[in-house]
Amino acid sequence: MDVNNGIGLAAPQIGLTINAFVISKDVAKQFGIPSAYINPKIVSVSQKEEIMEEGCLSVPGLLGLVKRARTITITAHDEKGKQFTVIASDLAARIMQHELDHLKGTLIVDKFIKPPRKNI
């Protein structure tokens, strides 16, 4: 993730069949959120949505517009097994939703609202 300038990575992206994802430590620190999410579940999503461009380490070089909830509440366990709840907005919420999609087998290409552009 760090070598390729990623900001999040889900276990299935690296061949692990566990229900977990991580967010880069720098981004987690910036937003004051945990970096590890084990057995994450979305508890609630805001009605307000935003459309933003996203990329993905699983489909390098493609960028596309994706609509996501602006704010989410998520529960998960940390690497020590302790349960926590996070309310995240904007980029933090987007990263979490993106990684949760991977856990369900969904890629951003499945969510693009118009054809992607190549990022060379």
Q: What is the pLDDT of residues 12-44, one digit of tens each?
A: 999 999 999 999 999 999 999 999 999 999 999
Cα 54 from chain centre: 10
Q: What is the pLDDT of residues 46-84, one digit of tens each?
A: 999 999 999 999 998 899 999 999 999 999 999 999 999
Confidence (pTM): 0.92
Q: Tokens for 93? A: 């919420």
**What sign does the dihedral 102-8-10-41 (CA atoms) show?**
negative
Phi/psi at 23 (5° precision): -120, 140
From residue 25, alpha-carbon distances to 28, 47, 65 in Å are 5, 29, 25
Q: Determine which one of 49, 50, 54, 99 is catalytic.
A: 99
Whether 53 is a known active-site residue: answer no
Could you tell me the CATH superfamily of domain 8-118?
Peptide deformylase (3.90.45.10)
Task: Give dist(CA 100, CA 29) in Å, integer.
Answer: 20
- Residue 6 pLDDT exceeds 80: yes
